[in-house]
Amino acid sequence: MTLASATVLLFLVIDPFGNVPFFVAALKQVDPARRRRVIVRELLIAYAVMVVFLFFGQPLLKVLGISGPALTIAGGVILFLIALRMVFPMRGRTSQEEIEGEPFIVPLAIPYVAGPSVLAVEMLLMSDEPTRWPVWLVAISIAWAATSVIVLFGSQVAERLGSRGLIAIERLMGMILVAIAIQMFLTGADTYFGRG
């Protein structure tokens, strides 16, 4: 996987456009003068979690005895389920959490930005090619930076695009993610059966 493809994959999985309404809702009770500071703090915490997991996710796999093909297939299944939820959101249910006061770490940093799907992709990248960790670190940094820009200007993005525009972008990202998920599944299956 190239730097560009890894960056795009991480960006799609973080789903910044889908997170904009969640950030706006979570910060409603926060003093407007503090909102930007809170967002920056939460984004930095999320980045720290993602970087730490990049280096310590691989040893965890070894302890659990999970093979590369198994992780690739599992990653494909997880991404496929996430993509389906992006393309076909469940009616009558919301992923937004009721937050009293100022949010700290949960839910903005984790799981909205540094969610389980992002951490799973990081483990997948490191399990496939651990020696290319500088490339994966750059990919994480670029995807996080792009996400940060979108989230920091979340209210303006929401106003410009409107709810329909945000939904359209999220569904388009979901469709791309479906194709990536299926490719990951096929790659894992091919690696596993190729061994036999």
What does the alpha-carbon distance between residue 14 and residue 29 come to, in Å, rounded to a whole number?
24
Rg, C-alpha atoms of the chain: 17
**pLDDT tens-place string over residues 28-77:** 889 988 999 999 999 999 999 999 999 988 787 778 887 778 878 887 88
**CB-based burial of residue 146 (10 Å sphere; 0-12 exposed, 13-18 middle, 19+ buried)?**
middle
Separation between Cα atoms, residue 62 and residue 155, nearest integer Å: 43
Q: Which tokens belong to 126?
A: 């490191």
Which residue would you say has higher pLDDT here, 146 or 63?
Answer: 146
Mean pLDDT on 168-193: 87
The pLDDT of 121-145, averaged and rounded, is: 93
Distance CA 122, CA 116 (A): 10
Could you write out the DSSP letters of every residue in 102-154?
A: S-BSBTIIIIIIS-HHHHHHHHHHHHH-GGGHHHHHHHHHHHHHHHHHHHHTH
What pLDDT is attached to residue 140?
Answer: 98
Q: Is the predicted pLDDT of residue 93 greater than 50, yes or no? A: no
**Of 47 and 103, the one with more pLDDT:** 47
Full-model pTM: 0.81
**Strand, coil or helix: 101:** coil
pLDDT digits (tens, 9 = 90+) for 109-124: 998 999 888 888 898 8
Average pLDDT, the chain: 87
